[in-house]
C-alpha cells in the first residue's frame, strides 16, 4: 500500500504534505470507495481492519515507507514487523 502511494507521489511530482496525503488517500479511502467496499474507514461500525505505521504523519509514511508496522484484523493484532502474532 505505501509503496503504491510512494510511486503515485513520485510519478505525479507530489512534493507538499497535502499532495502526499492525496497519494495516500488514493490507495486507501478513495480506492475502497471506488471498489464499493462497505465498512471501510475509521467510523463507528466500520470493520476494525487496519495497519499502524512507525511514522509521525501521513506524508512521512508515504515518503519514507517505514518498516515498523502492525496489522490488525477485527481489532485484534495479527502481525507485527512481518511476524504473525499468536492469539
Q: So what's the pLDDT on residue 1? A: 83
Whether the predicted pLDDT of 87 surpasses 80: no
Reading the block at residue 75, the C-alpha cell is 481489532
Domain boundaries, the chain: 2-84
Q: What is the pLDDT of residues 16-70, one digit of tens each?
A: 999 999 999 999 889 889 999 888 887 888 888 889 999 999 999 999 999 889 9
Between residues 35 and 1, the one the model is more confident about? 35
Q: So what's the pLDDT on residue 44? A: 87
Helices assigned H by DSSP within the chain: 2-12, 17-27, 29-34, 58-64
Amino acid at each position: 500500500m505505501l509503496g503504491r502511494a510512494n510511486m503515485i507521489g513520485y510519478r505525479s511530482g507530489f512534493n507538499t504534505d497535502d499532495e502526499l496525503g492525496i497519494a495516500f488517500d488514493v490507495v486507501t479511502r478513495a480506492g475502497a470507495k471506488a471498489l464499493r467496499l462497505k465498512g471501510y474507514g475509521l467510523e463507528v461500525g466500520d470493520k476494525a481492519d487496519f495497519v499502524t505505521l512507525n511514522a509521525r504523519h501521513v506524508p512521512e509514511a508515504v515518503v519514507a515507507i517505514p518498516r515498523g508496522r502492525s496489522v490488525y484484523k477485527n481489532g485484534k493484532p495479527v502481525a507485527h514487523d512481518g511476524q504473525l502474532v499468536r492469539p
